[in-house]
Structure 1
Amino acid sequence: MNKTLMGALAIALAASAAHSADLYQPQPEPIYNDVPEVAVQQSSSGWYLRGDIGYGFTDFDGANFYQGNYTGSKADFHTAKLRDGLTLGVGVGYQVNSYLRTDLTFDYLNKTDFEGSTKGSGASFGACVGPCTSRDTSSMRAYSLLANAYVDLGTYGYITPYVGGGLGGTYVKWDKLRNTSCADNGSGCDSTVEHGGKGSWRFTYALMAGATIDVTCNLKADVGYRYRHVQGGDMFGYAQNGGPGFDKGFDVHEARVGARYTFGGCATPYVPEEPAPAPIIYK
């Protein structure tokens, strides 16, 4: 009987081992909790519109004029200063890739006042007797059309620094020049003479640097500096033994803020799907 019980127990253990061998369950895949967060990024290319406002600090290169029309000698203004002014700009551009963009901009330099003076004596300078000083006043507006290119220097968080340059033209429109000559000894002044203002297109180039700040995937704020050099040209015409006159050009140092809106949808982030649990395999 003992042999019978031991035989039955051996058969039961063998059957249990065989059943366990037939049941196979693979080890579960490890779970990683440090998957980086996927952020929505702006498309690397596309058309955009921009708008800017700034303040231009103006460096005037001086002015000169003919004494006695073109038959006379040419003389520089003794003093010549052009005031600072507000600047406004709009433009359309294209983001070529993550590093290069171009745009075409139209900018307006608000009315800025000119103050100058000239020195002379006798009939060649006017009706005053002895050494005289003339006080000259006018104002100027300027409209620039520039083709620009920019290099974006990489994005750091939400900020993208850039540098750029532009070429184009500026239409400079001078108002009337009014000059009043007064004797230096205080004996009296001539009546005020008005010279008709002139307007002309001038070659212009610009250099820029700044940074854009991501507001949304389509909208960027822009804070920057722009240097513009405007070539010289016609300033005023002839009147009563003086003129025409010419300005020698000017530089504008602009502190600017603006915004840029890119058309098109935002880039869709890639989010990997979570793997399904492994099935139990029976053999």
Structure 2
Amino acid sequence: MLKSMKVFGAALLLIAPTAGYAADLYEPPIIEAPEPLPPVIQPDPAPSFGGWYIRGDIDYHWSKLRGTEYITYGDAPGGLRGGTASFDTTDLKGAMSLGAGIGYQINKYLRADLTADYWFKSDFTGSTSGTCGGSPCVSTDTSAYSAWLLMANAYVDLGTYYGFTPYVGAGIGGAYIMWDDLTNSISGGSTTVHEGSSNWRFAYSLMAGTSYCLTENLNLDMGYRFTRVAGGRMFEYASGVAPGFDDGFNVHEARAGLRYQFGGNSNCAQPQVVSYDPPPFEPPVYK
């Protein structure tokens, strides 16, 4: 028995240093928690298009007459005989206008609207020359015109860059031109008043500009519009002269306005920031 215990003790003395040495050699690997992935910026999934909008605009416009003519009968004032004549000079002052409309965003690049604009009065000054009682004379003519412009418009949006969306467009419709009475004053002579005429005319427009995203629903719109208005009756008969006709207008407009889109404008949608959160890190357990 004593001998067996001695043998067992000797075995323990031999095993213990070996086990300690082995424990000193083995070190479990250090596993670090994974780094979180950086945020990923993605556009809104499946952006929706198609939505109604309303708009309001203000502008300043400059009108230029493309020509004038009026009918004369017999020995009209100024020495004009029967036939037609025209103003020697014409000038139209600039004026303000206000507009409103309703439209629909068809897709990312195409929209259309119906607009109504009121052009405030543009003052007209003209002159004619002739003979009065055998002597040369000159007349000064004054009037003004205002108008309603009703248009159906289509636009192509050319993409959005840092909130700015340039566009081009065209419109077709009609203008209701309202001329004030024309006052014809001959220097050193008589004054004649011709009743002004009002009538509908064909009109078309070409536009270019850019809109800026103020919010996802609200855009600031700035641009230029050129409008061509067909000719029509300008003033009525008085004292052997008229009716008178204008050959139409070329109108240049600098415009600014706001466009509110119901349901939001996909061109103005902010990108989504999507981040990946890894599952909680649990260190390995060694047994």
Q: Across the two proteins, how many residue pairs are aligned to each other? A: 266
The CA deviation at 1:274 is 2.1
1:31 aligns to 2:36 (yes or no) = yes
Shift of 1:244: 0.4
Q: Work out whether 1:74 is the aligned partner of 2:84.
A: yes
Task: Answer whether contact 1:40 1:217 (CA < 8 A) is retained.
Answer: no
Give the drift of 1:9: 7.2
Which whole-Å CA distance do the structure 2 matches of 1:66 and 1:87 have between them?
32
Q: 1:102 to 1:180 in 2, by over 3 A?
A: same
Amino acid at match of 1:3: A
5+ long unaligned stretches in structure 1: 123-127, 183-187
Residue 112 (structure 1) shift: 1.0
Contact 1:146 1:169 in 2 (8 A): yes
Paired residue type of 1:159: F
Q: Give 2:162's aligned residue.
A: 157
2: CA distance between counterparts of 1:103 and 1:270? 34
* Paired position in structure 1 for 2:179: 174
Q: Is the 8 A contact 2:218 2:259 kept in 1?
A: yes
Give the superposition deviation at 1:48: 0.9
TM-score normalised by structure 2 residue count:
0.80
Question: Residues 218-269 of structure 1: CA distance to partner in whole angstroms, max 9, x if unpaired?
Answer: 1111111111111110101111110000001111111111111111157684
- Partner Cα distance (2:225, 2:113) in 1: 15
> What is the Cα-based RMSD across aligned positions, in Å?
3.2
| Comparing 149-158 and 24-33, the one that deviates more | 24-33
- Structure 2 residue 117 is the aligned partner of structure 1 residue 112: no
Which residue number corresponds to residue 259 of structure 1?
Answer: 258
Aligned-residue offset at 1:282: 7.6
Identity %: 45
Counterpart in the other structure of 1:185: none
Whether contact under 8 Å (1:62, 1:81) holds in the other structure is no
Report the TM-score, using the length of structure 1 for normalisation: 0.81
Secondary structure class of the residue paired with 1:66: strand
1:271 to 274, 277, 282: 274
* Residue 90 of structure 1, CA deviation: 0.7
- Are 2:99 and 2:116, in contact at CA under 8 Å, matched by a contact in 1? yes
User: What whole-Å deviation, never above 9, does each CA across 1:8-49 have from its counterpart, x for those lacking one?
Assistant: 77789999x9xx8xxx9987544223x245688996432111
Contact 1:25 1:281 in 2 (8 A): no
- 1:211 is paired with a residue of what secondary structure? strand
- Letter aligned with residue 228 of structure 2: H
Task: Return the alpha-carbon distance in structure 2 between the equivalents of residues 200 and 265 of structure 1.
Answer: 40
1:238 corresponds to which residue? 237
Contact kept in structure 2, 1:147 and 1:166, CA below 8 Å: yes
Aligned to 2:198: 199
1:87 equivalent in structure 2: 97
Larger radius of gyration: 2
SS in 1 for 2:11: helix
